[in-house]
């Protein structure tokens, strides 16, 4: 069913409610999923549900998971407002216990996990659990902080790590070797490793966080909204010139039943 302009505008409002890094991750996910066959998506650690809404508007059905029950209730309400309840559902579920959902085994065509794995101590178990819920030849889209990123500023310190799972980062991030290692040990075939959110997105996000601390979220959002177009147009070029590391490392990987017969080149 095609969706009109109003649902798309409501989705856009939800998407840009956060910082520019969120938009970068959505564009990365959209660009890599838009030509794939439409299917069933599991969004592990879906936050406010924005990516579920976007995927639904692009023809996928999506189940979003978070441990935060009030947030899931708000996300379900937003889904109703956008008009995608026929394709989107939200469930309260701790990602660390994904393996307890036996009915989800080999039930999904795609799994999305953005900026979530760095919060979980047993990252290999999470990867293994996501492998299990995928159908054969199913695809994982994952982003996590690049271990070599340059700290943005306010509220973003590589030293401020949690030693327990209290909602904070338990590791700085991952580099390419880490990503390859964790895929090798959990049975995923790597399709692509890339990066998103360069110099301009990071600096705009840093400014956004400073303004939130002094002016509040609504004022900061309104003032900086016109500047959000700048990273979209110029971030790639500027980051390449400066050789600035991307904030997130991005993985596309496949549960290939037979790597030689993989559906992805």
Is pLDDT of 258 > 70?
Answer: no
pLDDT score, position 246: 98
Higher pLDDT, 19 or 137: 137
Element (H, E) at 222: helix 217-224
Confidence of residue 2 (pLDDT cuts 50, 70, 90): low
What pLDDT, in 10s, does the model give residues 195-222? Answer: 999 999 999 999 998 999 888 888 988 8
Give ∠ CA 25-29-164 in degrees, rounded to 5.
Answer: 55
Residues in Cβ contact with 63 at an 8 Å cutoff, skipping those fewer than 6 apart: 40, 41, 42, 43, 52, 88, 89, 90, 91, 108
Q: Model pTM?
A: 0.93
Give the residue from 198, 201, 224 showing the smallest Cα distance to 212. Answer: 224
Q: What is the DSSP letter of 38?
A: P
Cα 102 from chain centre: 24
Higher pLDDT, 5 or 45: 45
Burial class (CB in 10 A: 0-12, 13-18, 19+), 214: exposed
pLDDT score, position 261: 41
* Percent of the chain residues past pLDDT 70, beyond the cut: 95
What pLDDT, in 10s, does the model give residues 29-59? Answer: 999 999 999 999 999 999 999 999 999 999 9
Contact 153, 125 (CB under 8 A): no
According to DSSP, the β-strands at 108-114 and 40-44 are: parallel
């Amino acid at each position: 069913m095609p969706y009109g302009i109003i649902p798309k505008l409501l989705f856009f409002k939800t998407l840009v409610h956060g910082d520019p890094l969120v938009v970068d991750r959505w564009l990365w996910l959209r660009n890599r999923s838009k030509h794939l066959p439409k299917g069933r998506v599991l969004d592990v650690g879906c936050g406010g549900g924005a990516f579920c809404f976007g995927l639904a508007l692009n023809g996928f059905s999506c189940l979003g998971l978070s441990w935060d029950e009030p947030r899931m209730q708000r996300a379900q309400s937003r889904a109703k407002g956008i008009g995608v309840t026929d394709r989107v559902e939200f469930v309260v579920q701790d990602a660390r216990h994904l393996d307890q959902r036996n009915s989800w085994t080999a039930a999904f065509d795609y799994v999305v996990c953005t900026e979530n794995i760095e919060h979980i101590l047993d990252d290999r178990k999470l990867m293994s659990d996501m492998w299990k819920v995928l159908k054969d030849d199913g695809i994982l889209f994952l982003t996590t902080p690049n271990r070599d990123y340059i700290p943005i500023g306010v509220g973003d310190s590589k030293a401020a790590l949690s030693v327990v799972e209290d909602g904070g980062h338990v590791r700085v991030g991952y580099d390419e070797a880490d990503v390859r290692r964790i895929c090798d040990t959990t049975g995923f075939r790597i399709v692509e490793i890339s990066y998103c959110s360069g110099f301009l997105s990071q600096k705009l996000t840093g400014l956004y966080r400073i303004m939130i601390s002094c002016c509040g979220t609504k004022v900061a959002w309104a003032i900086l909204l016109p500047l959000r177009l700048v990273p979209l147009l110029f971030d790639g070029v500027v980051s390449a010139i400066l050789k600035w590391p991307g904030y997130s490392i991005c993985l596309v990987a496949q549960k290939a039943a037979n790597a030689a017969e993989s559906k992805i080149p």
